[in-house]
Amino acid sequence: MHRYQILIEYVGTNFVGWQIQSKGKSVQKLIQKKLSKLLKEKIILVGSGRTDAGVHAVEQSAHFECKNKIQNLDKFLKSINHFLNNMNVSISKIKKRNLNFHARFSAKQRIYKYVIFNRLSRPSLEKGRGWHIIKKLDILLMKKGAKKFLGTKDFSTFRSSSCNAKSPIRTMKSVKIRSIRGRIEIQFKSQSFLQQQVRSMVGCLKYLAEKKWNIKKFDFVFKSKKRTLCAPPAPAEGLFLEKVIY
């Protein structure tokens, strides 16, 4: 068997998420189906992790195995993208890997980015690619709150009730916030994330930045480990899986 890693870019708007589900159109199912057709054998595609409905990817990572070696990777890339591009999905890279490589279990870090448009007017060019918030957000307060996430901590407050991870303990390596002309980008780096963790953290940062909460309340909600105290999660359209590091 031959194992290949692919890097995938997609607009998540019209998908139920990455993972195959009983109903709805998933990114995994779409690519798996096209790969099977192109390679003329049943292909199982394994992703680095799931992204929820409406979440986008700049560089999702996945792997698959096939019986025959792909002779021309560039030609293969053109062929598979021919079937995917009209669905707002594209394979940006394909790489031959050894059989020990696993898209999910070999990952050392995952980077997510959340985009907020903090301005009066709604975005047109980037419609559906960020959270539009009219009320002026305090970036310094946001950065102060983000520091609380760093390190190995219990992230139960930010965990979806349907999350099936064995433990709520995660290690946040970094949180970077930058703001340029009303566009705020928040980048989170960790080996793994709980379901809805990033969107829930952003929702709480928003409450802090618009002064609905002070830093003491923000800290209390985090340490409470109670999902019911969490601010409403930020909408999926502003979230991007940016990179998976191996």
Amino acid at 138: D
Q: What are the C-alpha distances in Å from 218 to residues 9, 71, 128, 151, 205?
A: 34, 55, 28, 17, 8
Q: Among this protein's residues, is 52 annotated catalytic?
A: yes
- Classify residue 190 by its DSSP letter: E
Given 52, 138, 154, 219, the catalytic residue: 52
DSSP 28-94: HHHHHHHHHHHHTS----EESS--BTT-EEEEEEEEEEESS--S-HHHHHHHHHHHHGGGTEEEEEE
**How far is 111 from 53, CA to CA, in rounded Å?**
18
Q: Is 114 annotated as a binding residue?
A: no
Specify binding-site residues for substrate. 112
Give catalytic residue positions: 52
